[in-house]
Structure 1
């Protein structure tokens, strides 16, 4: 059964149960009211009978019967008896012993008596008169009230069925309206797939459960997309970077084995293959670092970081470990303790990679860091005094495995700036390169400042 049908069914059951309870309460309340009202009418009959027959001494019995039939409305199957001290019917001409002596004595003891005998209602009173002590009993069948109750029951059954049908239809309509965002969400989810990992379902401003599901789904899609990109990047980089050295090793081995050669030729071939193997080792190291970095980026937790403390830690690290100078200056109008939202470990890796690159290509000259604030952002400018980067190469410096370190006599796998850019992108920041006229490079890192 669909959720829409279950909601409609449960709502209908609850509503109709409450309606049934209300109708039953009304029915039985009305029934008791009619019963009490009829008892009151019977009681009035007994009192009127007592006044007519016991206190109107000068009026004959036939005249009293005429008055009773003329001015008192006769009830359905009405029976009235007046009993004397010896429990004999008297006065009204109905001398048949309708009630047992036990019932008459019970009225005499209690003074008043009301009870139901099958479909008949009975009222008895004990009445003292100058002519003696009498018991007056009256009974009748309340057929009018029974007819009213039957009509009321039929009306209630009709109303119950009608309202139940209306509630069922309305509840289905309400359930459909309530679940419409869920149906839309399900249709959108079907669009997600391996070829559409960037897809996200629409989120709204409502704080209901469906919006929470949408947010959770989008968060899951982000993690899956990152993992999917990680896999594709790793496979692409591995196939691209490892193919060339493997091919060269195979070619050198085949050439060496194609004919007999002297020892020097074999040594040269082995040296060439060793060089290619070392390049493969560096490439594999870079790929593993790249994969680890991507995993760290996916699982990273952001927290407020005091920028001055972070830069001081980096400055001290380069001085104590490499004996290299990093000079840090701040804009005069900047906050004394600026903070950014970042991951402490990853932001250190990013800045250290930029600083390392600056030292490498400036022959370990001093690196300057200048921090300034623009609106709600902090800019960290890392300046070196090396030869700079040609315009033709500037577009490639943030690509993985791109490096010109070997040309300058330095080691490196071309992963430092690539990792730095990935980290800055994760932090919703920006990294740019500018080349001043006097030479060198300025890497500017823009991060959001916490107020």
Structure 2
């Protein structure tokens, strides 16, 4: 059984008090016992010092041995009386001291519980603050007020660490925003130049072939950058949450993926029921787009992709395609890992789709589960906390 620190401190306080009380009771008992007179010696002394106790009127009918017998009987009666008194006094001392010790131990336990709770309050404040921390709530601080002791030092150290974390997260946010602009701008310029070269009627076939390859390479680089930026954005948490209709987002994604499904001869089967979650609409759309595009790409002609929202789980995407062993599924959620290879391949993917899906789900307080589909492919379930519409 696991005991809390407060309980352990209370037990230690109460145990030490009880031990000290037992030692005090033993010392008190020995002192009182040493001060009470010995029954036999006390009786003999009293009879010797007070012979009148057994004295009788002088009569010729009482022999001298009768007086001695009377003295012995008096001594025995006095010894018995003193022995009973001594035992009664010691028993009363033990009983009353034991009751007082038990009551005092109970009071010590209660005061120990209160004192331990007061002493550990800063630790509870630190724990509560740490549990509530997130990328969107790094402004929380403990601000412990109290004497300059070890707990005050611990709370101040924790607040200083939060200041450094908040500064690091701010720097990361600025870096992601700047990187998004600085990386996309040259790629957009490059794509424009290549498209201009392709539109030139005087371009030779070799130049057109080279321009087409450069255009595909640029598109691939753009997808890679978009995936990395989405992964970085979701990994740092959500700056805010708003109600998002997941079924409407899924409808837009399916409409935008229709041409790709027609090109690869994969049917899209929407089963969209109203579902509202709290989160970031852009990241949730990226999650859905990655799942749907992966399900279409890793499929086979004549296959299908089913997208369900609003059920027991917020989102379920099932597709046909090559069979995937259950042991290989965890590796698919790692960056740059894909079924059958660890790097990118010729279908245009960059190996970040499911990594982004998992990161976005975790940023929203949800989780992703994947299992082999009943008709090949995968069945991916995304659980997200729902929100009132």
User: What range describes the TM-score normalised by the shorter chain of this pair?
Assistant: 0.3 to 0.5
* Bigger Rg, which one: 1
TM-score normalised by the chain length of structure 2: 0.42
More RCO (CA 8 Å, sep 6+): 2
More helix by share: 2
TM-score normalised by the chain length of structure 1: 0.36
More strand by share: 1
